Structure 1
């Protein structure tokens, strides 16, 4: 198990434009040959957008992009004609496939924080696709078959225990609260990369929310 702390993330974005980014993997101008991916995951970015700030239209291809809002509301528009507002508890997935362009903005009047996780597909190409699941229930898995991955959302009360999925690669991200994983305590923004996970439990020290990626 490899624990990565929130404070170790590489800073990016454009603070003058109201964009504060924190990257868990090599991204943009930050290149670390020893931190390119884990399983199918190639990016896990924490994005903070001030009211009115956002990312103008830009392209993506050959990437499964999953977004989880922590607080605030994200406006998404893409070249396939989708326009949605993504709120806390929603799972948004953009399968960029052979190519798509999109805009992401904070059109609200309060700060926006969201996680954006990029997964490498097993096969390149294909047609872009979009999906949003409103208010996904606790313990309901969300499959991304194109990347042979499964997302598990867990919301735990203090003292509650949850099993970490067994798998070749498991990525655990703490959205809020504190949890104990193995011999480590993890707080908001901390993550653990577990290889060949088997019989691993997470215990909530406080009320907590976790995202757990199970990858082949």
Structure 2
């Protein structure tokens, strides 16, 4: 089953400094049919104006993954962490028992990010934060795990949940496959370009909610950059 959610059907709001699109219910946008997908709770497509950003605010009990599409995001938190994550790279904040953080676009142009929240499992632990580069050349023509709570994904940023976040870069005409385990839920969005997933068309910013598909076969109709979340039900 693949349910395509077109970009122009997403909820959201334009605050001037922030133009946000919500794949799932978030803030003032509420759709009882779009409350999450498996353990995936939030997927926001955010454009942040230059010199602006999210001021310090609290979170707890959530795995928050930021995938930077264009520009860069600068992070500060109550643990004393500071860092800058550039386009194509990823940061992870495990909110755990509680953390305050700020995310700013200190760049001269707009920054575009995917903000992905996944519900944690297991015991509540102290908060943490990390970031690392993931060169796009290393995921050319294939999916690479960017963040994961699944055993064996040792090269990925750690998250505290039965899920993984993956990225792939496909040239027009290239095909990549991903095996989806039984009972798993997947959600995929092209950060750029257009693809077909198991024969269904998916454009930039569209979301594909997937389950009961043993293999995902993705063919690029034009150069494409993909982000995929595979989570427990």
| TM-score (norm. length: structure 2) | 0.88
Contact 1:70 1:113 in 2 (8 A): yes
Report the equivalent of 2:10. Answer: 9
Q: How far 1:143 moved relative to its partner? A: 3.9
Task: Name the CA distance, whole Å, in 1 between partners of 2:95 and 2:80.
Answer: 13
Report the equivalent of 1:159. Answer: 173
Report the equivalent of 1:105. Answer: 104
Report the equivalent of 2:144. Answer: 140
- SS in structure 1 at match of 2:75: strand
Contact 1:170 1:215 in 2 (8 A): yes
Contact 2:167 2:225 in 1 (8 A): yes
Q: How far 1:135 moved relative to its partner? A: 2.5
- Structure 1, unmatched stretches of 5+, are none
Task: Name the CA distance, whole Å, in 2 between partners of 1:9 and 1:83.
Answer: 32
- SS in structure 2 at match of 1:35: coil
- SS in structure 2 at match of 1:141: strand
Q: How far 1:68 moved relative to its partner? A: 0.6
Q: Note the 1:1-216 alignment, pairs <5 A.
A: 1-15=2-16, 18-123=17-122, 125-136=124-135, 137-138=138-139, 139-145=143-149, 146-167=160-181, 168-216=184-232
- SS in structure 2 at match of 1:55: strand
Task: Name the CA distance, whole Å, in 1 between partners of 2:134 and 2:107.
Answer: 19
Q: How far 1:147 moved relative to its partner? A: 1.5
Runs of 4+ in 1 over 4 A off after TM superposition: none
- SS in structure 2 at match of 1:140: strand
| TM-score (norm. length: structure 1) | 0.94
Task: Name the CA distance, whole Å, in 2 between partners of 1:68 and 1:105.
Answer: 14
Task: Name the CA distance, whole Å, in 2 between partners of 1:177 and 1:12.
Answer: 24
Task: Name the CA distance, whole Å, in 2 between partners of 1:210 and 1:10.
Answer: 21
Task: Name the CA distance, whole Å, in 1 between partners of 2:166 and 2:205.
Answer: 17
- SS in structure 2 at match of 1:115: strand
Equivalent residue pairs, number: 214
Q: CA RMSD in A?
A: 1.3
